[in-house]
Amino acid sequence: MITTRKPSWASALLVGALAATTFATSPAQAADLNQSSAKWCQGVRIRFFVGGEAGDAFASIVYKGAQQAEKDLGPKVEYVFSGWQPEKMVAQLRDAIASKPDGIAMMGHPGDDAIMPLAEQATKAGIIMMYQNVDVPKVREKFGGGYVGANLYPQGQALAEEAIRTLGLKKGDKALVFGAWGQPGRYIREQGTADAFIKAGLQVITVTAPPAVASDPSLLTPQITGAFGKNPDIKVIVHAGGQTLGAAPTYMNAIKKKPGEVLNIGFDTSPAIIDAFDKGFVQLTSDQQPFLQGYLPIQSICLTKKFGFAPLNVDTGAGFVNAKNYKSVADLAKKGLR
């Protein structure tokens, strides 16, 4: 089991989300729900944004969750791969709206300002919108839609607090925090981590991680070696995604550090992260269950389209995986489900 000490933000459950929705059906719709066939969402067309590419550590789990929902429920789903490029996502969202599906499950990485006018177009076209992984609260406040993903700032804040509590970090230690600095709405989680470290008296060094590192983590190696060249006494590295956290052994070898000499913490689980735990190069990660970020947006669109449910809002933050408990999720991670 992952640690039972959960941050306060990790309390949203699917049952609670369903209970909070409004159920408005006709007798015919209720009859559909009671059919013996499990494919109760047949006939619904959905455009689903996976975020990255099919093979990257995080997007592959999101993709599996979405594919499982398609298999279980029966909608027709078209998948969109964006390489974690916000500008590409915007262009793809424009195309998705033009195709007039019943629903779109959209990654929120481009942010409120970029998505707002397109969300308005979708609303006027009667398209159901869901968002996953990165929230767009201003868009949802104005045009509706649900969100499936972690509550980002508290998640980042809680990671720092857990690292201080369990890994011996103290005032004056240096923390290297990677993030999408400068991209509005994209560094909320990492800002939470940096703020919590600063509040505790740590010295924080922020470095921008370009979106391309999600597909090719080796691109981060020069930035890490450069940062340690200037600050050889860095105690902890905070990785902005599971793709680079899983590459921690490569980075540590590049700067000639043994397992545990520099702490590596971050977000997500994956086969590479489990391997890095095994080797002693990773000490802590915050699990945000990307499988659910694939499955639940499709389920929510189906529920809204077929039965009039309000959209789901689910915090997928599950707590922490550390060197003591990682084996409890290792098998699922190696299967690409956690």
Strand 146-149 relative to strand 313-315, pairing: parallel
User: What is the pTM (predicted TM-score) of this model?
Assistant: 0.84
Residue 271's Cβ-count burial label (10 Å; 0-12, 13-18, 19+) is middle
In the chain, the domains with their CATH numbers are 14-150+289-318 (3.40.50.2300), 152-287 (3.40.50.2300)
Q: Which residues pair with 204 in a beta bridge?
A: 175
Work out the angle at residue 65's Cα, subtended by the Cα atoms of residues 189 and 75, and round it to the nearest 5 degrees: 125
Share above pLDDT 70 across residues of the chain, in percent, rounded to a whole number: 89
User: Does residue 25 register a pLDDT over 60?
Assistant: no
What type of residue sits at position 305? Answer: K
Q: Which two tokens stand for residue 284?
A: 């802590």
Q: What is the pLDDT of residue 21?
A: 37
Work out the angle at residue 291's Cα, subtended by the Cα atoms of residues 287 and 294, and round it to the nearest 5 degrees: 130
Mean per-residue pLDDT, 211-229? 92
Residue 158's Cβ-count burial label (10 Å; 0-12, 13-18, 19+) is buried
By the 8 A CB rule, do 131 and 152 touch?
no
Mean per-residue pLDDT, 128-149? 97
Q: What is the pLDDT of residue 36?
A: 42
pLDDT category of residue 214 using cuts at 50, 70 and 90? confident
pLDDT category of residue 7 using cuts at 50, 70 and 90? very low
Q: Which residues pair with 131 in a beta bridge?
A: 106, 147
User: Does residue 22 register a pLDDT over 50?
Assistant: no
